[in-house]
Structure 1
Amino acid sequence: MSAYWVSVYQEITDEAKLAAYAELAGPAIREAGGRFIARGMPEEVYEAGRVTRTVLVEFPSVEVARAAHDSPAYQEALAALDGGAVRDLRIVPGVE
C-alpha cells in the first residue's frame, strides 16, 4: 500500500540552508523510491490552515518511506538543513 511523506514548513529561518537541503534531498528522495506529488505554498487554506510551504511525496510503502528518511543520502540533506527550517514531517499510510 502506498504511503505519503507530508512535510509542512512551520518556519524557514535560513533560505541558504534550505536551498542546500533541497539540492541534496530531492535526489535522495527520488533515488529511494519517492515521487513528488505537490510542493510549494498553498493556493487556499481553510479552517485552522496556515499559509506554509508543504511538500507531499508518494512512496510505495511506509517501509520504503521510512528507509528513505533514514538513508545516508537523506541524512546528509538533513545535516545541510541544520536548523534552517522548523518542519513537521510525517509518514501517512495511503488508503486502499
Structure 2
Amino acid sequence: MAKAYWISLYRAVHDADKLAAYAKLAGPAIQAGGGRFLVRGMPSKTYEAGLDQRTVVIEFDSVEQAIATHDSAGYKAALDALGDGVERDMRIVEGA
C-alpha cells in the first residue's frame, strides 16, 4: 500500500494567536491518527514559480488514514480554533 502525504502551504497568516491555538490541537490529533511530521517551516530556497510560504508535509501509511485523520473530531476542533486565522492550500497526495 502506498504512503500518503498531507501537504499544507500557508499563503498568509492573519492571526498568529489562532494559528498557535490550532497548532496545540492539530499536532496531537494528527499524531493520534498516525501522521508523522516530515517538514514544518519556511523554504530554504525557492525556484521557478515557487513561493516563500510556510510548508508542512505529514506522512501517513495510507490515503484513507490521512482522510480519516482530517475528518476526525480532534482535527475538527483544531480547524475550529484556526477559523480565519490563515489562508492556506491543503491536499492529500498518494505516494509513488
- Per the normalisation by structure 2, the TM-score is 0.98
Q: Which residue of 2 aligns with 1:6?
A: 7
- Unpaired runs of 5+ in structure 2? none
- Unpaired runs of 5+ in structure 1? none
Q: Which residue of 2 aligns with 1:94?
A: 95
1:55 aligns with 2:26: no
- Per the normalisation by structure 1, the TM-score is 0.98
Quote how far apart the aligned CAs of 1:13 are: 0.3
Question: Which runs of structure 1 show a deviation greater than 2 angstroms over 4 or more consecutive aligned residues?
Answer: none
- How many matched pairs? 95
Percent identity among equivalent residues? 58
1:22 and 1:42 mapped to 2: Cα distance? 19
Alpha-carbon RMSD: 0.4
1:12 and 1:67 mapped to 2: Cα distance? 26
Matching of residues 19-58 of structure 1 within 5 Å: 19-58=20-59
Cα offsets for 1:49-87 (capped at 9, x unmatched):
110100000000000000000000000000000100001
Name the amino acid aligned to 1:60.
Answer: D
